[in-house]
Amino acid sequence: MNIPKLKRATIASEDGLRVWLKNNSDLAESVMLVTHSNPRSSKHVSTEQVANALTNSRWSAGRRYTLNDNLLGHVITLTA
């Protein structure tokens, strides 16, 4: 599987995700949000939390990629 080479933003909390989405609402290209996939990590942001935050923003979700055992990449794109 080829993981796309996109600008990456590492997110460590649900609040941080919401702030990032709001502050980057002018990006023209897709971005890979990187979250910690281990639910026992203090930096874990679940796939459901990402989906909910995207629903309440101008971003939409694309594919997800396992980047390693502890990181998950969510490809997101700004919608019109």
Residue 79 pLDDT greater than 90, yes or no:
no
What tens digit of pLDDT does each residue of 2-59 get? 889 999 999 999 999 999 999 998 888 999 999 999 999 999 999 999 999 999 888 9
d(CA 44, CA 35) in angstroms, rounded, equals 7
d(CA 65, CA 4) in angstroms, rounded, equals 9
Query: What pTM was computed for the model?
Result: 0.89
